Structure 1
Amino acid sequence: MSSRRQGLTPRWQWPWLVLCLLAHFKFQLVRAQSAVQTLFVLDSDTIASFNVPPESDDINFYVLTPDWYQYTAIGFGATMSDSLMLVMYPSADRKSVTVSPRKARGNTEPVYSPDTQLVIHDTSIDEENSNMVVNATCRRCLPYATANSASGVERTASMMFAVGPELALNTDDLDARIRRHVAYGNFEIDLRKATGEGGIGEGISGGNSSDAVLSGERGLVQDSNKAATAHGILYALVALAVAPFDSLVAGALRTRWAWVHGLTATVYFAFVIGALVPGVMVSREHVATQRFRTGHQVLGLLAVVALTIMFVWGIALSWIKHSANKRGQEPPENTHLLGMIHRWTCRTIWVLFLVNVGLGLKLSEHKTVLIFGYMAVALAVLVVLIPIYFCLWKCSKRGREKEGSIEMPTIYDHNSNYLGVHHRN
């Protein structure tokens, strides 16, 4: 078998080819009467065999697959919507395999289906070759595979295959949370060739056996969650670059060229909305996030709502000041207090974004190294920017004190001067 952790790229390795050849020879030599269709997925080092008992809706199946994926899944049907999937992952003691029947309502994480009946004949973990082995029967599962068969119920059954990311999932929990698949494919089994007495026995054997292949030119399709990637990158840019830059511009150019802050604030708000949209899309795909109750989601939504209010708040303050200056008047006295509330609330929102990116990395089960790396960068940004903010605050305070120290002549000063001049005359 191929070595562990080599990814999902096509690998024409001698051990795998030898195994395939031995399997084919075994098909010809074994005298068992089982009718079996076998799927060979070279890209993931997986073998899956299927047998349909005569006059039955059951499907016997045998799967041999590496255990370094978070899971291996066999699906009945052509699409994920309203399909039944058998998700396989190592048990807690790593001596057997947990087989979890799940149903999907769309292109979302499938949910555990306790009504599905599975008869587990044998499961084991081959530690030497890092393989999971499952031999079982799925009761009344054939209708899921033939319901949308384009070639006709009597001839073919539509099936799906998928593997999860290279993450550990050792549990007996049938409802354990799983990540989005990293590769998937579709195939069909010929029911005429797969139907027969005897089941599968010990796996890939049978005088009437034949092969099934993944459909499409690419075979096993590499999958990527672009929405999640976009959400994470945009959110990180907001927290580490866009938000602090806007805050610096607001502090340095508050009295002059205020329009520059208006421009950076608009870019800031656009980045946040741009990160929010794919985040909502990703949330709808997973069971744990569909109701928007996780800490990352709640904190993120609160920060977005607060930022939206502050964005409108800033526009209103700018309009009030501009209108007063246009009339040659001083802005209302409470605009200073409103401006201070605006500034400190925006700074608090920035800190919330910094924290929430870390919560998002933890929620998406990224590696600990990446989470700690982000924390180090976030702390470095704070250490660099806090002294700069302090200097800007001191400069602004001195400027206000200097302006306040200039005494403007009043009407009383004018009258006294006038009277003194008149008296001398």
Structure 2
Amino acid sequence: MPGSASTASSDPRCEADSRIHNPVADTITPSPTLLTTAARDFVLLATAVAGLLFGIPTDAQQLERRANDANHASSTFVYSDASGLNLTFALNAATSTGDLCFHMSAPAAYSWVGVGTGKQMRDSLMFIAYTDSSGHGITLSPRIATGNSEPTYTASKNVTVETSSGMADDQSTYVVDACCHNCTTWSRGSLDLMSKTAPFIFALGGGYATVSTSPAASIERHEVFGSFTMDMQQATSDGAGGVPQPNAPNGTYVTSGASLATGLKQDNNYGPPLHALVMCLAFVLVFPFGALLLRVLESVKWHAGVQIIGFIIAFVGVASGIYIATMYNKSKSYSSAHQVLGLLLTVALLVQLSFGIVHHRLYKKHQKPTIMGRIHKYLGPSIILLGIVNGGLGFSFANRSNRNVPYIIVVVLVALTFAAIVFFKKRRGNRRVKAPQNGGGEFAYGGPQTYGGAAPQPYDAVYGREGGAIPLSHMSSQASMPPPPPYGARAGTPLYTHENGSGISREVTPRPMV
């Protein structure tokens, strides 16, 4: 009934019950303005929290980045060496193209300059610059390192060098303005553009300057190296990007968005000089000296001892050479004349040592020459000569051709000294061979003996001052001597008897043949 319905609807309790039992009908709808404001505040709050937690740029940062795109957003690292000269690296990364554009400058006193991504050399993408063949321009080489050795040029990365690059007017500074296209990723890694502490490494080359237009030219070992980090969010732009411009009012570059240099180390390249010193010592001094001892002292023991020392020194040099070969691209393939000849000489040294030992044992046992002894006799001097030649090839291979002049001078002086010693030794020996004709028995078979009754007399007493008749009676006893024993006769066995001047016979025993 209508009255009942009206009464029920006007009862406050009924209204309360209807709210309880019909919640949907009782829902309060907020105004559209209030909903929009709350949603926006929530989104802003969520964005700010996400930016703090995950490094996501906020709207303010995005606006600042877009404002800086006109001047190419960048982070800049500056390192001052001990001389107060600066290495500068300013980087811009473009998200739309993946290009890395940078300004890099460094003192030309170093043979090259390089900056790479990552915490270590392995898998790092590096940008290495050195002087071109003209001496006024710059060669920029993108390289990837596989370890702590010379990085290898990669042709898969295309770099564009701007005309502003080159040597400074006073030839004191490398200046490189360039872009590496699509270089935020490479075969062995990538660059995190959202990182505020992206790791980088740098190095300055030592030794002789690298002068070449080839991007694959060999470079010397670094003299100084270290690491730093960069804020890639600051360095990244949404637009095309470009080479960063000076960020200081006076038109220079100052550190911005980058850490100071850490892990600085002064490096030394001791390997090649040690290899050269050891090998020259072995082939120019020790081996020739061992051969000289055999001819001057006629001592097999001294000869063998010195030559074994030479073998040890030479193999230390070979080991150092093999290690050095792993450090440089041009030596990893073992295709150079110096390396090929060096390996052949190493094998020849092993053969020479083996033949010498075996020949000596067989000779002591059978008292007969051996074919190995003949090979040993001629192989030794050949090894020494080729080893000396290989030393000159080594200096050229190491880009030290100017060292060949003093090297040749030392070789000639050593050769002349040893030749003079051998010459005077032979001359002295020839004089001793002639001595028995004047009455001496020093070179008679079996050692010093006196044949005949009278002792040898002085030259004046025998020949006379006026050059009279020459009596030969003191040599008459030699005519009655039988011939010497055959070669290889057993030592200690009497072969014949000899009657001396007093009429007493005694056994004559030959000396052992060694």
TM-score range, shorter-chain basis?
0.7 to 0.9
Asked if 1:343 is matched to 2:398, the reply is no
* Partner Cα separation in structure 2 for residue 317 and residue 403 of structure 1: 26
Contact 1:76 1:158 in 2 (8 A): yes
Contact 2:123 2:189 in 1 (8 A): no
SS where residue 272 of structure 2 aligns?
A: helix
Alignment equivalent of 1:202, drawn from 217, 238, 245: 245
* Partner Cα separation in structure 1 for residue 389 and residue 194 of structure 2: 54
* Partner Cα separation in structure 2 for residue 323 and residue 406 of structure 1: 28
TM-score scaled by length of structure 2? 0.64
Aligned counterpart, 1:229:
273
Q: Which amino acid aligns with 1:316?
A: V
Over residues 75-134 of structure 1, what are the superposed CA-to-partner deviations in whole Å (9 max), with x where a residue is unaligned? 222222232221212233344322111222222322221110223234132122522211
Alignment equivalent of 2:259, drawn from 212, 225, 236: 212
Aligned counterpart, 1:363:
397
Aligned counterpart, 1:252:
296
Asked if 1:262 is matched to 2:297, the reply is no
* Partner Cα separation in structure 1 for residue 428 and residue 372 of structure 2: 20
Asked if 1:372 is matched to 2:405, the reply is yes
Instruction: State how 1:90-239 maps to structure 2 within 5 Å.
Output: 90-122=131-163, 123-128=165-170, 130-143=172-185, 147=189, 154-196=195-237, 199-204=242-247, 209-216=256-263, 219=264, 221-239=265-283
SS where residue 250 of structure 1 aligns?
A: helix
Aligned counterpart, 1:407:
483
Q: Which amino acid aligns with 1:163?
A: L
Aligned counterpart, 1:49:
90
CA displacement at 1:74 relative to structure 2: 1.6
CA displacement at 1:378 relative to structure 2: 0.9
* Partner Cα separation in structure 2 for residue 377 and residue 167 of structure 1: 24
Contact 1:91 1:172 in 2 (8 A): yes
Contact 2:80 2:87 in 1 (8 A): yes
CA displacement at 1:70 relative to structure 2: 2.4
Contact 1:145 1:157 in 2 (8 A): no
CA displacement at 1:55 relative to structure 2: 5.8
Contact 2:392 2:407 in 1 (8 A): yes
Count residues in correspondence: 370
Over residues 366-386 of structure 1, what are the superposed CA-to-partner deviations in whole Å (9 max), with x where a residue is unaligned? 261x32111111111011112
Alignment equivalent of 1:77, drawn from 102, 118, 121: 118
* Partner Cα separation in structure 1 for residue 353 and residue 485 of structure 2: 39
Q: CA 1:52 to 1:402, structure 2 compared with 1: closer, same or farther past 3 Å? A: farther
CA displacement at 1:32 relative to structure 2: 6.8
* Partner Cα separation in structure 2 for residue 140 and residue 183 of structure 1: 29
Contact 1:101 1:113 in 2 (8 A): yes
Aligned counterpart, 1:4:
none
Q: CA 1:305 to 1:375, structure 2 compared with 1: closer, same or farther past 3 Å? A: same
TM-score scaled by length of structure 1? 0.76
Aligned counterpart, 1:295:
337
Over residues 384-419 of structure 1, what are the superposed CA-to-partner deviations in whole Å (9 max), with x where a residue is unaligned? 1123234556778988x9769982369xx979x9xx
Rg comparison, structure with higher value: 2
CA displacement at 1:282 relative to structure 2: 0.8
* Partner Cα separation in structure 1 for residue 420 and residue 361 of structure 2: 31
Q: Which amino acid aligns with 1:227?
A: G
CA displacement at 1:340 relative to structure 2: 4.3
Q: Which amino acid aligns with 1:242?
A: V
* Partner Cα separation in structure 1 for residue 255 and residue 307 of structure 2: 69
Contact 2:247 2:254 in 1 (8 A): no
Question: Higher relative contact order by CA 8 Å / sep ≥ 6: 1 or 2?
Answer: 1
Q: Which amino acid aligns with 2:260?
A: V
Structure 2: unaligned runs, 5 residues or longer:
1-67, 434-442, 447-480, 487-494, 500-514
* Partner Cα separation in structure 1 for residue 254 and residue 419 of structure 2: 75
Structure 1: unaligned runs, 5 residues or longer:
1-29, 325-330, 418-425
Q: CA 1:406 to 1:320, structure 2 compared with 1: closer, same or farther past 3 Å? A: farther
Asked if 1:311 is matched to 2:353, the reply is yes
CA displacement at 1:263 relative to structure 2: 1.8
* Partner Cα separation in structure 1 for residue 329 and residue 444 of structure 2: 59
Alignment equivalent of 1:321, drawn from 352, 358, 363: 363
CA displacement at 1:269 relative to structure 2: 0.8
Q: CA 1:56 to 1:251, structure 2 compared with 1: closer, same or farther past 3 Å? A: same
CA displacement at 1:359 relative to structure 2: 1.5
SS where residue 186 of structure 1 aligns?
A: strand
* Partner Cα separation in structure 1 for residue 237 and residue 255 of structure 2: 9
SS where residue 80 of structure 1 aligns?
A: coil
* Partner Cα separation in structure 1 for residue 255 and residue 419 of structure 2: 74
* Partner Cα separation in structure 2 for residue 272 and residue 296 of structure 1: 15
Contact 1:148 1:158 in 2 (8 A): no
SS where residue 111 of structure 2 aligns?
A: coil
* Partner Cα separation in structure 2 for residue 148 and residue 61 of structure 1: 17
Q: Which amino acid aligns with 2:414?
A: V
Identical aligned residues as a percent: 26
* Partner Cα separation in structure 2 for residue 225 and residue 406 of structure 1: 70
Q: Which amino acid aligns with 1:350?
A: I
Contact 2:99 2:179 in 1 (8 A): yes
Contact 2:207 2:220 in 1 (8 A): no
SS where residue 222 of structure 2 aligns?
A: coil
